[in-house]
Amino acid sequence: MKNLGILLSGRGSNFEAIARNVQAGEIPARIAVVISNLPEAPGLARAREMGFDARFIPSKGKEREAYDREVVAALKECQVDIVCLAGFMRVLSPYFVREFPNRILNIHPALLPAFPGMDAQKQALEYGVKLTGCTVHLVDEGVDRGPIVCQAVVPVLDDDTVESLSARILKEEHQIYAEAIRLLVEDRIRVEGRRVIPDQPGGGVAAGARERTVP
């Protein structure tokens, strides 16, 4: 069974969704460790309550690669196969990415390549798009740039605030993150250049995209 390592810096709702899916057998893997770079991250406290190996590895005042070496050492000690970034507010060094080639996933609250970086929901609202969503992608050495595994589309409503839009996107994040992790855990994705092709048992349409109408 594959081991997951979850990295977070905040609320941890994506971590909790992953944990629920693991518990329900939807993701056939084990959460080997949860790591936060911030001591006060609610997600870290939640992971402890849930009985996971939950570690605070402080990043403050450390060079990027020096910090990443500590995190990678902890992940290797826990025999982690797949790393899931779940609101981890740090850019990974090339060293980290090379240690887990095509084995690191990130979730971003917009339809990449639109609105990378911080405050993606606010960027989408201010830009005036009518559809936005979320993206799970493999992590390469760029920021919010690696090959896309799954996306979900969410409408932007006329009376949306950043909060209401973020909440609508978050529901989809929890769904597609589990789907993407499952594909990677089951070794069912093939990467061709920038394209990620899910292998469907028995063929069929790629499972990596979903569309939603107005709720």
Using rule CB under 6 A, residue 12 touches ligand GRF:
yes
Residue 207 CA to residue 168 CA, distance in Å, equals 21
Q: Which residue is nearest to ligand GRF (CB)?
A: 87
Using rule CB under 6 A, residue 37 touches ligand GRF:
no
Packing angle of the helix pair 13-23, 162-185 (nearest 10 deg): 40
Which range of residues in 51-59, 105-113, 149-157, 180-188 is near ligand GRF by CB under 6 A?
105-113
How far out from the chain centre does Cα 133 lie?
14
Please pick, from the candidates 5, 87, 146, 208, the single residue that binds ligand GRF as defined by CB under 6 A. 87
End-to-end CA gap in the chain = 37
Answer for the pair 11, 42: CB distance below 8 angstroms, yes or no: yes
Q: Which residues are catalytic?
A: 108
Which range of residues in 58-66, 70-78, 106-114, 205-213 is near ligand GRF by CB under 6 A?
106-114
Which range of residues in 10-18, 29-37, 62-70, 197-205 is near ligand GRF by CB under 6 A?
10-18
CA nearest to 156, candidates 209, 118, 114, 208: 114
Please pick, from the candidates 5, 43, 146, 198, the single residue that binds ligand GRF as defined by CB under 6 A. 43
Answer for the pair 162, 121: CB distance below 8 angstroms, yes or no: yes
Nearer Cβ to ligand GRF (66/143): 143
Using rule CB under 6 A, residue 11 touches ligand GRF:
yes
Q: Determine the size of the site formed for ligand GRF (CB under 6 A).
A: 13
Nearer Cβ to ligand GRF (108/182): 108
Q: Shortest gap between Cβ of 109 and ligand GRF (angstroms)?
A: 4
Answer for the pair 190, 171: CB distance below 8 angstroms, yes or no: no
| Alpha helices, H only, the chain | 13-23, 42-49, 64-77, 94-99, 120-127, 162-185
Sites of contact with ligand GRF (CB under 6 A): 8, 10-14, 43, 86-87, 107-109, 173
